[in-house]
């Protein structure tokens, strides 16, 4: 049957089970949007306020559901506005397909109106991308894009389609595309070598990253931890892969990790790394990282092995499959003395914060209490992000969504809309700083337009908090361009866009506002006023080893 390129785009999306796309139309992509209109009963299009919001919404949808997120944009600035969201997805291994449309084939390379080489621009930040210049290749390109996006280590794929290709017709047949997928067989020698390392260890530690969530290996991790008899820490991206309320859980590792995790990893004799890539925010001084330990790394991506930290044991493969094999062969270990030592650290070095007044950690703890730990928490980037990772116990995968690799301010609001649309029965709360909220706060209008009842909590300290913290500690209190002393009123702003706005200046006011927001059934913005000098503790200074972690008490003692 003959179909136009635009019709093929829609048919391929339906083949892939896509029921929701996020985007913003323009001239070059009009043919696709015309077909979307005809299929609005099958595919819901969410019109965001900005293309970046569309890319973040597709990302949030993907992270919360495990499905491939889809975003659409037109040529030129429409396509370039997706770039930050594509890069965010790439850094955090999020499956996404971005479909852009370009000027006609005959106009390519001529600096035509709203022409941009989006395939060239996104080449370093996609798993793969296509520019489809012949309508006969279109179906195959889209089908392959979805396979590549979710196969192996997931990531974003871009498909760029010139406008005349969306209008051209060709024969179309429903079906699937054949791929040259290589079935990876686990190396039994590497499994046996890992088991030997584990059995020899007297003081093992388990370190869990985002790959564990992507692999949906939380049950296997639980069983492995019980068998190996070890404490557990995680990365920002690994939140929820192991229950944050379990006694073995010691918190996050790294720059703003707990003292327990940082000391424990520095003292262990075996570090089992599951789906983590040794980010500089985790390792601190890489030469001093886990210097007393042998490291066993389990990862699906061979490129991550020995990239940042040299390891002694390697298993390449899907984490779920690897752990099933290890659990099958591993007899229960006993490290009672070691585990009790780490549990002693947990008691000696608990996370704490001032209890007087409204504070960032207090806000997050109140959210945890009111949602009973069952919400999807989304964040922007900065101090509030760290507090959300420290003071909310994540017990399930896909309940903490944050830009970990790229650190994208403005990520959270769009991502929370995508997450809520993907998981309508879950409470979805975006925790933002006032600096981050400004980046894409126009997406409140999107939430209102579609009545997506997200809760936007703005931790408002009237400064760029994390940057100011560094200026305070390392730059002699020279607050260059970090004070937000303007007159923006987020409550009035929310009301202007049709949402409910509430201001909270005390713990009691925030508790009341949150209770109201949880039952309101419409988008709510809560503007929480906190002190400008509140800091994230503990902290590791840049270039220091992670066991040189310090907090406010340590600074006072030093002074």
What CATH number did the domain enclosing 293 receive?
Answer: 3.40.50.1220
Mark whether 144 and 259 lie in a shared domain. no
pTM of the model: 0.97
How many independent structural domains does the chain possess? 3
C-alpha–C-alpha distance, residues 216 and 241, integer Å: 8
Helix (H, G, I), strand (E, B) or coil at 440: helix
Peptide bond into 163 cis (omega under 30): no
Strand order in the sheet with 44-47: 44-47, 20-24, 69-73, 96-102, 156-162, 128-131
Evaluated on CA atoms 132, 136, 137, 142, the torsion sign reads positive
Q: Domain boundary residue among 142, 171, 200?
A: 171
Element (H, E) at 253: none
C-alpha–C-alpha distance, residues 455 and 510, integer Å: 13
Residue 120: give its domain's CATH number: 3.40.50.970
Mark whether 337 and 439 lie in a shared domain. no
pLDDT of residue 94: 98
C-alpha–C-alpha distance, residues 408 and 344, integer Å: 36
Mark whether 164 and 193 lie in a shared domain. no
pLDDT tens per residue across span 461-513? 999 999 999 999 999 999 999 999 889 999 999 999 999 999 999 999 999 99
- Tokens found for residue 83: 């770039």
- Residues near 258 by Cβ (< 8 Å), separated by ≥ 6? 233, 250, 251, 252, 349, 351, 390, 538
Mark whether 228 and 133 lie in a shared domain. no
Mark whether 250 and 310 lie in a shared domain. yes
C-alpha–C-alpha distance, residues 452 and 522, integer Å: 6
Angle at alpha carbon of residue 423, lines to 240 and 500, rounded to 5°: 105
Q: How confident is the model at residue 183 (pLDDT cuts 50, 70, 90)?
A: low
Mark whether 8 and 131 lie in a shared domain. yes
pLDDT of residue 175: 80
- Residues near 521 by Cβ (< 8 Å), separated by ≥ 6? 453
For the chain, percent of residues with pLDDT exceeding 90: 96
The answer to whether residue 427 scores a pLDDT higher than 60 is yes
Mark whether 47 and 167 lie in a shared domain. yes
Q: What is the mean pLDDT of the chain?
A: 97
The answer to whether residue 181 scores a pLDDT higher than 60 is no
C-alpha–C-alpha distance, residues 249 and 242, integer Å: 8
Q: Domain boundary residue among 146, 171, 196?
A: 171
The number of angstroms, rounded, from the C-alpha of 341 to the middle of its chain's C-alpha atoms is: 32
The 10 Å CB-count burial string (b at 16+, else e) for 350-374 is ebebeeeebbbbbbbbbbbebbebe
pLDDT tens per residue across span 388-400? 999 999 999 999 9
Q: Is residue 290 part of a domain?
A: yes
pLDDT of residue 179: 57
Mark whether 206 and 149 lie in a shared domain. no
Q: How confident is the model at residue 32 (pLDDT cuts 50, 70, 90)?
A: very high
C-alpha–C-alpha distance, residues 272 and 314, integer Å: 10
Angle at alpha carbon of residue 527, lines to 523 and 529, rounded to 5°: 165
Q: How far apart, in Å, are the Cα atoms of 218 and each of 229, 257, 258, 343?
A: 16, 21, 22, 22
Mark whether 88 and 52 lie in a shared domain. yes
- Residues near 185 by Cβ (< 8 Å), separated by ≥ 6? none
Q: Which residues are designated catalytic? A: 51, 113-114, 163, 466
The 10 Å CB-count burial string (b at 16+, else e) for 102-114 is bbebebeeeeeeb
**Cβ–Cβ < 8 Å for 517, 457:** no
**Cβ–Cβ < 8 Å for 293, 251:** no
Q: Which domain holds residue 118?
A: 2-171
Strands 20-24 and 69-73 turn out to be parallel
């Amino acid at each position: 049957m003959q179909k136009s390129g635009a019709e093929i785009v829609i048919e391929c999306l339906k083949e892939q089970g896509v029921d929701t796309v996020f985007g913003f139309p323009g001239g070059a992509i009009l043919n696709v949007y015309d077909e979307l209109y005809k299929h609005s009963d099958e595919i819901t299009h969410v019109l965001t306020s900005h293309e970046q919001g569309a890319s973040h919404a597709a990302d949030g949808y993907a992270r919360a559901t495990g499905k491939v997120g889809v975003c659409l944009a037109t040529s030129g600035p429409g396509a370039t506005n997706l770039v930050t969201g594509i890069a965010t997805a790439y850094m955090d291994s999020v499956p996404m397909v971005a479909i852009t449309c370009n000027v006609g084939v005959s106009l390519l390379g001529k600096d035509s109106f709203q022409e941009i080489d989006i395939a060239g621009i996104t080449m370093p930040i996609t798993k793969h991308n296509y520019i489809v210049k012949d309508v006969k290749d279109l179906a195959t390109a889209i089908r392959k894009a979805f396979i590549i996006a979710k196969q192996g280590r997931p990531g974003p794929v871009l498909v760029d389609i010139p406008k005349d290709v969306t209008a051209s017709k060709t024969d179309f047949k429903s079906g699937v595309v054949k791929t040259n997928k290589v079935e990876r067989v686990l190396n039994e020698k590497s499994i046996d070598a890992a088991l030997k390392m584990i059995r020899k260890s007297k003081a093992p530690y388990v370190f869990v990253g985002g790959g564990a969530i992507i692999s949906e290996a939380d049950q296997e991790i639980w069983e492995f931890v019980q068998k190996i008899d070890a404490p557990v820490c995680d990365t920002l991206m690994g939140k929820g892969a192991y229950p944050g309320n379990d006694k073995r859980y010691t918190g996050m590792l790294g720059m703003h990790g707990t003292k327990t995790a940082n000391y424990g990893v520095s003292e262990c004799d075996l570090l089992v790394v599951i789906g983590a890539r040794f980010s500089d925010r985790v390792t601190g001084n890489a030469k001093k990282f886990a210097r007393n330990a042998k490291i066993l790394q389990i990862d699906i991506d061979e490129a991550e092995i020995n990239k940042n930290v040299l390891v002694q044991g390697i298993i390449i493969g899907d984490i779920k499959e690897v752990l099933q094999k290890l659990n099958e062969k591993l007899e229960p270990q006993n490290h009672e003395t070691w585990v009790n030592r780490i549990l002693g650290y947990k008691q000696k070095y608990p996370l704490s914060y001032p209890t007087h007044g409204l504070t960032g950690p207090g806000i997050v703890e109140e959210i945890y209490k009111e949602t009973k730990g069952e919400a999807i928490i989304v964040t922007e980037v900065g101090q509030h992000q760290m507090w959300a990772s420290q003071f909310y116990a994540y017990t399930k995968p896909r309940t903490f969504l944050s830009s970990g690799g790229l650190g994208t301010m403005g990520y959270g609001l769009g991502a929370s809309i995508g997450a809520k649309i993907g998981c309508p029965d879950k409470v979805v709360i975006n925790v933002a700083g006032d600096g981050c909220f400004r980046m894409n706060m126009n997406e409140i209008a999107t939430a209102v337009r579609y009545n997506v009842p997200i809760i936007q909590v703005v931790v408002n300290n009237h400064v760029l908090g994390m940057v100011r913290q560094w200026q305070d500690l390392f730059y002699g209190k020279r607050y260059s361009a970090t004070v937000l002393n303007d007159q923006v009123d987020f409550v009035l702003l929310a009301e202007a866009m049709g949402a409910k706005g509430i201001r909270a200046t005390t713990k009691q006011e925030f508790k009341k506002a949150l209770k109201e927001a949880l039952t309101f059934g419409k988008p709510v913005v809560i503007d929480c006023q906190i002190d400008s000098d509140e800091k994230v503790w503990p902290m590791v200074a840049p270039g220091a080893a992670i066991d040189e972690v310090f907090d406010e008490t340590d600074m006072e003692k030093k002074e």
